[in-house]
Amino acid sequence: MMNGKTALVTGASRGIGRAIALRLAREGMNVAIVYAGNTAAAEETAQGVREAGAQANCYACDVADEAAVGALCKRVAAEMGPIYALVNNAGITRDKLAAQMKEEDFDAVLDVNLKGAFHFIRHTYSGFLRQRAGRIVNISSVVGLMGNAGQANYAASKAGLIGLTKSIARELAPRGITVNAVAPGFIDTDMTRVLPEAAKDALTAQIPLKRLGSAQDVAEVVAFLCSDGAGYLTGTVIPVDGGMAM
C-alpha cells in the first residue's frame, strides 16, 4: 500500500518531478518536494498534492551539496515520517561539444545529476534498512543509453545513474528494497522547450510514436515502480521514450 507513506521527489517544483509528485499523491502518498530555488513553482506543486488529499512540504536544497542533503533527509523523516519512496529526478544540462566544454560544465552536471542521487541514497540508506521495505527510482535518460553529440557531460551522468542503480539494487535487495531507473526520451518540459523548433522536429522524426513524451507519461511508470505491484522488479532500466532507443 502506498497510501499514507512518504515519498521524497527531487526536482519536484517543475516538469517531470512535479508530474511524479502529483501522480504519487493520487495514490495517497505524502510528498516531500525538493527543489533548487523556484519556491513559487514548488508551492504550486504542493498545492496540487494537497488538492489530491495528501500532505506536502517544500524543501529548498541543492542536491549537489552533501551536507545539505544529509540535514534535509533527517528533517523530512522528522516532519513527514520515514521515506518509503525516493525519486532522484533533479537534473540539469550544460550542452556543448566536448572541445568547448569546460571542466566546470562537466563537473556541474555530474554533481547535480549523478552525485545528487548518490547523496540522497547515502543519507536514506539506513532508514531503508530499518524499514526493510521501500523504493528508489532514479531518473536517467535515453541519452545515457545512446549518447548524444553535445551532451558528453549529461550522457556520462545519466549512464552513471544506471551503474549506480544496479549497484544499489544489489546492495538493498536482501532487505526487500527495490532500486530501478527510468530512461525518458524527449519529454516536453522547460528543459526541452529551449530547443529551436527545427531541432524539435528533427528529434520527433526519430521517435517511432511520432510525438514528444509528456511528464505524465514518465510519472505513470514511476508510480508503477513505487507500487506494491512492482515488487519483483529491481535493477531495471525502463525506457519511456516512444520507442526512440529500441
* For ligand NAP, the closer CB: 8 or 90: 90
Task: Choose the stretch contacting ligand NAP; rule: CB under 6 A; options: 9-17, 128-136, 173-181, 202-210.
Answer: 9-17
| Residues in region 132-151 near ligand NAP by CB under 6 A | 139, 141
Q: Which of 60, 156, 182, 64 is nearest to 117 (CA)?
A: 64
CB of 64 to ligand NAP, least distance (A): 5
Q: Is 84 a catalytic residue?
A: no
Nearest to 114 by CA among 65, 157, 143: 157
Nearer to ligand NAP, 193 or 232 (CB): 193
- Report the alpha-carbon distance of residue 136 to residue 72 in Å, rounded: 17
The continuous run of DSSP H or E covering 246 comes out as none
CA dist 117 and 192 (Å) reads 22
Grid cell for residue 21: 509528485
Query: What is the C-alpha separation between 156 and 106, in angstroms, rounded?
Result: 9
Q: How many residues does the chain have?
A: 246
> What are the residues facing 9 on neighbouring strands?
33, 87
Contact between residue 60 and residue 36 where contact means Cβ atoms under 8 Å apart? yes
Residues 47-86 that bind ligand NAP (CB under 6 A): 62-64
117 binds ligand NAP (CB under 6 A): no
| C-alpha closest to that of 149 among 106, 98, 192 | 98
Quick check: 189 binds ligand NAP (CB under 6 A)?
yes
Mask for 196-235, x = binds ligand NAP (CB under 6 A): ----------------------------------------
CA-based max dimension of the chain: 51
Residues 12-51 that bind ligand NAP (CB under 6 A): 13-17, 34-38, 41
Asked if 105 is part of the footprint of ligand NAP (rule: CB under 6 A), the reply reads: no
Binding test (CB under 6 A) with ligand NAP, winner from 6, 10, 30, 57: 10
Closest approach of ligand NAP to the CB of residue 215, in Å: 6
E strand map for 118-190: 134-139, 177-184
Between 41 and 164, CB nearer to ligand NAP: 41
Describe the strand order of the beta sheet including 6-10 as a list of residue ranges. 56-60, 30-35, 6-10, 83-88, 134-139, 177-184, 237-240
Candidates 160, 184, 239, 242; binder of ligand NAP (CB under 6 A) is 184
118 sits near ligand NAP (criterion: CB under 6 A): no
Question: Closer to ligand NAP at the Cβ: 37 or 53?
Answer: 37
Active site residues: 154
The binding site for ligand NAP (CB under 6 A) comprises 10-11, 13-17, 34-38, 41, 62-64, 89-92, 112, 139, 141, 184, 186-187, 189-192
